[in-house]
Structure 1
Amino acid sequence: MEKRKVICGVQQVGIGVRSVEEAWPWYKDVFGVDIKILGSEGVAERMLPYTGGKPQPRYAILVINLRGGGGFEIWEPKGRELNYIQFQPELGDYGIEVCKVKSRDVRAAYEDMKKKGVNILTTPTPGPDGKEHFFIMDPWNNMFDIETDDYCFYNEDKNTGGNNGATLGVSDMDKSIEFYGAIMDYDKVEYDVTGVFDDLKGVPGGQYKMRRVMLTRSKPIEGPLSQVLGTSHIELIQRLDGEGVPAPRKLYEGRLWGDPGFIHLCFDIRNMEEVRKAAAAQGHEFVCDSGKDFKMGEADGHFTYIEDPDGTLIEFVETFKIPILKKLGIYLHLENRDDSKPLPAWILKCLRFMRSK
């Protein structure tokens, strides 16, 4: 059978932190990401263009919420001084500005987070699609958008699910729409609106006039892990020029990959060579390539990166092996499975046995 590009969905957003031990308990409590797929201490040797030209020690974990959605790759650089962003990021700055999170009940999630003392930026308000959402800030100045979304893989008693995509600042909206549509298959425009928006009041940069475009996929979800990852979307924001409007800034300019903030947006894929061809056809060659022999903790796979038109790092991961019942030495091997067919739900639900209390 002829191989084809399969984009299974958003696998995770990478979050650079000072301490995994400090950050994960907060994300687990607030977002319910209590399933640790992997944890790995080692050296990032294959990201040299983004790590100052030399390998960088790090500790990283990948955690998910089994209700459904992408995960968080929480990334802690080791053995070096961290370079924190020196300004308050605002909507329209170039890079990953906001991590989106699914919620079955936005108002209940809002009340839960209020009780937990979370820094809430806005109240639940309809967005351009008519669905309520609200914004929060974590203790490390990262923004999250809690969105109404009824997707559910495993029905747990949580008001939030997993990652639902991201909001990215861009300089040329039409070029970015083409990029995310042609390579990642986020080719369906859910809305394309311009103005100053009530649902962004209270969000840094929300006071500026901007163009907002929400992209989703016209294809149904597919791939071995697609039932866990679920649906997702990408919101693009272009800040428009005007009197008193500051020029957008690059969120990672002068900083290394892994420094605090959202370091990448990662897509789970099948058939890396076909993804490479699709990216190259759009003029975006791989900037980092692990090769097929890459191991991260208990998982095996092949990762690559490209830059979007504004230099934001986009990761592709083709997963070959992940633990299912690690204590019993049971692993899930994906290399020789149907690239488009979802794995049986009962197999993926075994991930619940990897829950962290």
Structure 2
Amino acid sequence: MTATSPVTVCPPLSLYIHVPWCVRKCPYCDFNSHAIRGDIPEAAYLDALLEDLEHDLTLVRGRPIESVFIGGGTPSLMTGDFYHRLFEALHQRLSFAPEAEITLEANPGTLEEGRYESFRQAGINRLSIGVQSFHPEHLQALGRIHDAQAAHRAIETARAAGFDNFNIDLMHGLPGQTPEQAVEDLQQALAHKPTHLSWYQLTIEPNTEFFSRPPDLPDDDRLWEIYRKGSEFLRSHGFDDYEVSAWSQPDRQSRHNLNYWRFGDYLALGAGGHGKVSLADGRIIRYWKTRQPDAYLNRIGSRTAGTEAIEPEDRPLEFLMNVLRLKEGVEEDLFTKRTGLPLTPVAVQLETLRTQNLLARHRIQATEQGQRYLNSLLEQFL
């Protein structure tokens, strides 16, 4: 076992908050989401979140929160009042960095008039709007509750409420999708001038309706043509794929996502949330919260369902699986800063991959060829 030292410079710390409810479970979704039955118990969920946080504060040691991401489920189902009270309580218990990035996931078809304004007033300064497609047949195939008009209206309403920093979620490789339709989705999205796009391929995950009843998806040749044409279009309009499925305008990358991919730390609150924290004694732990909303609401004290250490022998692969998703990679010294390990345990593998033109010199960064064979590249560190 390789000797480790405490992480002397603490990684940036983020906060993830999970809201588990949605109007309807989409057939492709493997996230911890649950269709609403009756009213959402907002007050009880807020109490549970804050009681949960009280038990996690010992992990923080006064470190400032650099970013917050509220995911789901459909967080935009909660009212502005819920978020006002939530962030008032969070600021009483946590230190926030100046200009912290605070993102809320919002789905078209779930917003009442005026709710965007109340989200901004609560302190949310970035939105991630789950459109997935603007084509009616693809929205229907994906089980989405909105149509194209609702998607356009949601984005326009967000801009009118003052959100000038927002992401649009789009999928590609949809059932029956042509390359032309994929590019049309991108064209309609960019007409709204987003700062960021999450453009990712539909994959079939276990424990989903699509897994038990797979749709007819495009073949590999069509998938490649969709990706090639879409990528050319996005680059021609000033967007850069700084991460495998994330595109942004210059200097508008998601700071929260970058912290994940740079092996930073993140607290987790809410049913099914997952966190990772570097501790003062040199340990790095992952932990996860009770998944079922009712169980999360009714549990007393900590809602943590499990904890595991990221052992020293596992840290190199964990680190590399994250940072190599980034197009620009990272400086070599970040390896030691984040893992507490010297670079020597992976030096031979790094040099081998560099001689094969799969990694760049003097950085931990996949070359263009290395990005194509990323899974094979990572197998060198197993």
TM-score, length-normalised on structure 1? 0.32
The structure carrying a bigger helix percent of its residues is 2
TM-score, with normalisation over the residues of structure 2? 0.30
